Amino acid sequence: MTSSSKKYALDFLSFVNASPTPFHAVESAKQRLLGAGFSEIRERDSWAEAVKAGGRYFLTRNGSSLIAFGVGKKWKPGNGMALLGAHTDSPALRVKPVSKRFAEKGSFMQVGVETYGGGLWHTWFDRDLSVAGRAMVRRSDGSIVSTLIKINKPILRIPTLAIHLDRQETFAFNKETHLFPITDGFKPLMAMTERHHPAVVDLIAEEAGVCAGDVLDFEMILYDVQASCLGGISDEFIFSARLDNLTMSYCATEAIIESLEPENALDDESGIRLISLFDHEEIGSLTAQGAHSNLLPAVIRRLSVLAGDGNTSDSTAYEETLVKSMLWSCDMAHSVHPNYPEKYESHHRPEMNKGPVIKVNANARYATNSPGIVLTEEVAREAGVPLQLFVVKNDSPCGSTIGPMLSASLGTRTIDMGNAQLSMHSIRETGGAHDIKYAVKLFKKYFERFSNLEETIMVDSTT
Ligand SMILES: [Zn+2]
């Protein structure tokens, strides 16, 4: 692996290790954007004055979705945007609102959890688990604030049953009764809540720097404390949780930062470069901050009418912008699995470390079409990044992404793509270390070149 490929792979590891939950992923992206000179704006304020041509901005919704963008100095209302979307969430076990359980006459403390998304849940057994999320806490001045929590030690475990007691060939289990983390019998001095084990509340309070009584509520999920790492004889793999889809969240964030790094990056830019990192993809996206919400359309509408000089236009700028824009819907793809080759269509077998994969599906489970492929190919050629194509077998189920729903609500040209990985939705997935740099370079080139390229690929042309 070249040293620059390795640099990107290692930087991605620090991003994913710092981001056990969507809240942490947004915070990780936010810190990088702030460091690169982006300013935070809020949806509740007017942007007429705040957002200027040549500026770099970001906003968050619910602390778990984020949109960042740079406005070209030649921006005019109704111009196009290079849009890139990914998601911040991954399947996980979430602590129930009332989580306190005891088993075997109180000798085991257990924590009730709910499944979030379509995880490969059998991979959560026998792992060293902890909790992370956000807590609403009361500060000493009486104010109530949201604080990110990440307990850095293994406090929970879902044990498998010894083989001597159950010689089953295939591992089957009940998601309600068997997928149940246990913890030890440590008893705190004060039990501040009846809903959760006081020991768990104490740990969270300690992490937040408040007393247990000041933890008012929390949203916690379980995560594997084993850090993500490089793997393989020559470090060509990444072994990690949440590759789907923190890989694309990371690459999107790095690409927009790098594309806007030069002082003069926006001097000749007539469009807007924008990334949107959505929560809740794994549960269908139909939430206030999911890809099916008004988040992206609302932001595009507000930006489409901005003149960048304090004025706004109220014409058909929004509709014009949508037609001139493009959306790259970026989510992980399936690498061919050497032990199950029969599961893959024989002419579409993407591999790890061979570049981003364009996903095509006749039944619109993916939003890719020919104009999108042509533009992406041109961007990849200029960036020197290899591409691969993926289609599922006709007799196989197919996943989906935020691409089709966003392209339906925006009417914008859309392409679905992402890096290849194995074991998607496992607690420990496998990805290609070289592919991190490939995706960052490709996305960066897309941001740099879209405004010029988009006019050359017309579908509803008059000539
Ligand atoms: Zn995904």
Tell me the CA–centroid distance for residue 116 and ligand 1, in Å.
13
CB 427 within 8 A of CB 339: no
Specify the pLDDT at position 399: 76
Query: What's the pLDDT tens digit per position in 347-393?
Result: 888 999 999 999 888 777 777 778 788 889 999 999 999 999 887 77
What are the chain's domains?
3-90+241-454 (3.40.630.10), 92-224 (2.30.250.10)
Tell me the CA–centroid distance for residue 399 and ligand 1, in Å.
9
HEC sequence for 168-215: CCCCCCCCCCCCCCEECCCCCCCCCCCCCCHHHHHHHHHHHCCCHHHE
Single out the residue of 156, 162, 137, 164 nearest to residue 148, CA to CA: 137
Give CA 141 to chain center in angstroms.
35
Q: Which amino acid type is present at position 78?
A: G
Tell me the CA–centroid distance for residue 80 and ligand 1, in Å.
26
Full-model pTM: 0.89
Tell me the CA–centroid distance for residue 117 and ligand 1, in Å.
10
Helix residue spans in 348-397 (DSSP H): 370-383
Query: What's the pLDDT tens digit per position in 404-429?
Result: 888 888 988 889 999 999 999 999 99
Tell me the CA–centroid distance for residue 459 and ligand 1, in Å.
29
Rounded to 5°, angle at Cα 242 from 14 and 57: 65
Q: Is the peptide bond before 245 cis (omega within 30 degrees of 0)?
A: yes
| Percent of the chain scoring above 70 in pLDDT | 95
Asked if residue 186 has pLDDT above 70, the reply is no
How many CA atoms lie within 13 Å of 268's alpha carbon, on the beta-carbon side?
A: 7
Tell me the CA–centroid distance for residue 232 and ligand 1, in Å.
24
Tell me the CA–centroid distance for residue 68 and ligand 1, in Å.
20
Single out the residue of 235, 203, 214, 142 nearest to residue 436, CA to CA: 235
What is the token pair recorded at 28? 């990780």
Average pLDDT over residues 327-341: 93
Tell me the CA–centroid distance for residue 370 and ligand 1, in Å.
23
SS3 416: strand
Specify the pLDDT at position 188: 41
Tell me the CA–centroid distance for residue 374 and ligand 1, in Å.
24
Tell me the CA–centroid distance for residue 215 and ligand 1, in Å.
32
CA 219 – CA 241 distance, rounded (Å) = 19
Tell me the CA–centroid distance for residue 130 and ligand 1, in Å.
23
Tell me the CA–centroid distance for residue 403 and ligand 1, in Å.
11
Tell me the CA–centroid distance for residue 243 and ligand 1, in Å.
8
Tell me the CA–centroid distance for residue 414 and ligand 1, in Å.
16
Tell me the CA–centroid distance for residue 284 and ligand 1, in Å.
11
What is the token pair recorded at 261? 């790094």
Specify the pLDDT at position 192: 40
Tell me the CA–centroid distance for residue 401 and ligand 1, in Å.
7
Asked if residue 191 has pLDDT above 50, the reply is no
Tell me the CA–centroid distance for residue 245 and ligand 1, in Å.
5
Q: Which residue has the higher pLDDT, 463 or 183?
A: 183
Band the pLDDT of 210: cuts 50, 70, 90. very high
Band the pLDDT of 203: cuts 50, 70, 90. very high
Tell me the CA–centroid distance for residue 30 and ligand 1, in Å.
21
The backbone region for 392, taken as left when phi is positive above 0, alpha when psi lies in -120 to 50, beta otherwise, is: beta
Tell me the CA–centroid distance for residue 417 and ligand 1, in Å.
11
Tell me the CA–centroid distance for residue 331 and ligand 1, in Å.
5
Query: What's the pLDDT tens digit per position in 261-310?
Result: 999 999 999 999 999 999 999 988 989 889 999 999 999 999 999 876 66
Query: What's the pLDDT tens digit per position in 87-124?
Result: 999 999 999 888 888 776 667 888 889 999 999 999 99
Tell me the CA–centroid distance for residue 445 and ligand 1, in Å.
23
- Average pLDDT of every residue of the chain: 90
Specify the pLDDT at position 36: 98
